[in-house]
Amino acid sequence: MLKPKPFAPRGLATAIGSMPHTDPAEAGSVIRRFLPDIPVWPQLPRRSFRENMYAQYSETLPGIVIEDEHISIDRSKDLSEGLERLYTAYLEGNLDASAISPDYAAGLHWFLHQKFDSATAVKGQVTGPVSFGLVVTDAHRRPILYDETLADAIAKHLRLKAAWQQRELRKLSPNTIIFIDEPYLASLGSAFVALSNDTVIRLLNEVLGGLEGLRGIHCCGNTDWSVLMSTQIDILNFDAYTYGESLALYPAELDGFLRRGGIIAWGIVPSDEAALANESVPALLDRLERLMRALVQKGISFDLLLEQSLVTPSCGLASLSSAGAERALETVYRLSSEFRKRLR
């Protein structure tokens, strides 16, 4: 296995993962062109419902049923044998039992057969336990997140999926980045996500704890960023285009996060096609600098912000046209280049 090398983000570009294409090679060629430093394997939800971000990681979960584009757990069956296999694999660190097959991730398997010799790192992603547990339900349409046994099981299941993915990606590059995608954390603190902060942190850390490379969380809505920065993450990725000012509400937590080596992945390039059409690289760069300057006024080191930043789209690109997704990644690439020039 390749040994990790020092990682200096300094405004490098990457992406969330999802693309609108159905051909892995077509999506991958766009990624290779515009994300040469930190390529990401393409999630292709339009190719098959199995590549939906929730179905994609459901494979091998005890009792899982995918039917009519709905994902559920069949609790009428005895799940004890399947749960025992899951916990045995967890305790023994058996990652092979949690492999993600080509039917569920054609883009990942395409990616694993490529060479990225000049890349600084390679990136993957897994759906987080909170969002997964809210979308997957039992027969009564009750989210399995509120079943204590199943909530613990899905966190361990996703931990193994993430760790298997990291192991495979490390064959391509010594530096890996795995993001936990948690869109439903935007509802943290509401009646919709009736979980304590401690429970959220525990579930996220369970998944993160299986990873040895860089670990990140992506949330495309507004949330309590202090909770996320209290987890074991190295990278916080958020929709800075829409919610950029929200980080300034947590100056102490952000300062502590950066000083321990944390990285902010600024989702400054809009993933909405209409918004993207009305933006330019200079305007987005000015927008990003204003957000950083606002944090400096809160006592955050500008040098740390510059050194410990990545640039990404605001969210996944699957909802765009193929041309729109290509434009988004080209904009990210060009913005990253201009950002890095300011560091010289």
Give the per-residue pLDDT at 175: 96
What mean pLDDT, rounded, does the chain reach?
94
User: Chain centroid to CA 324: how far?
Assistant: 21
Whether 99 is in a domain gets the answer yes
The Cα 14–Cα 68 span in angstroms is 33
The Cα 55–Cα 229 span in angstroms is 27
Confidence band for 272, pLDDT divided at 50, 70 and 90: very high
Confidence band for 203, pLDDT divided at 50, 70 and 90: very high
**Contacts of 277 by beta carbon, 8 Å cutoff, 6+ apart:** none
Whether 302 is in a domain gets the answer yes
* CATH number of domain containing 143: 3.20.20.210
Confidence band for 251, pLDDT divided at 50, 70 and 90: very high
Mean of pLDDT values over 201-224? 96
Confidence band for 2, pLDDT divided at 50, 70 and 90: low
Mean of pLDDT values over 229-252? 96
Confidence band for 343, pLDDT divided at 50, 70 and 90: low
Helix (H, G, I), strand (E, B) or coil at 219: strand
The Cα 212–Cα 191 span in angstroms is 34
Residue 241 is part of which domain span? 12-341
Residue 152 has pLDDT above 90, yes or no: yes
Task: State percent of the chain over pLDDT 70.
Answer: 98
Give the per-residue pLDDT at 297: 96
43 forms beta bridges with: 18
Our count of domains for the chain comes to 1
Residue 192 has pLDDT above 80, yes or no: no
Q: Which residue has the tokens 């000015």?
A: 286
Residue 21 has pLDDT above 90, yes or no: yes
Whether 320 is in a domain gets the answer yes
Whether 69 is in a domain gets the answer yes
Whether 3 is in a domain gets the answer no
Mean of pLDDT values over 214-239? 96
Whether 311 is in a domain gets the answer yes
For residue 124, report the phi and psi dihedrals to the nearest 5 degrees.
Answer: -130, -175
Give the per-residue pLDDT at 139: 82
Whole-prediction pTM: 0.95
Residue 48 has pLDDT above 80, yes or no: yes
Largest CA distance in the chain: 62
Mean of pLDDT values over 208-214? 95
Give the per-residue pLDDT at 75: 85
56-87 pLDDT per residue, tens: 999 999 999 998 888 999 988 889 999 999 99
Whether 7 is in a domain gets the answer no
Nearest partner of 122 among 168, 181, 165, 177, judged by Cα: 177
Confidence band for 6, pLDDT divided at 50, 70 and 90: confident
Give the per-residue pLDDT at 344: 58
Calculate helix-pair angle for 24-34, 322-341, nearest 10 degrees.
Answer: 20
Whether 2 is in a domain gets the answer no
Contact 331, 256 (CB under 8 A): no
For residue 152, report the phi and psi dihedrals to the nearest 5 degrees.
Answer: -65, -40
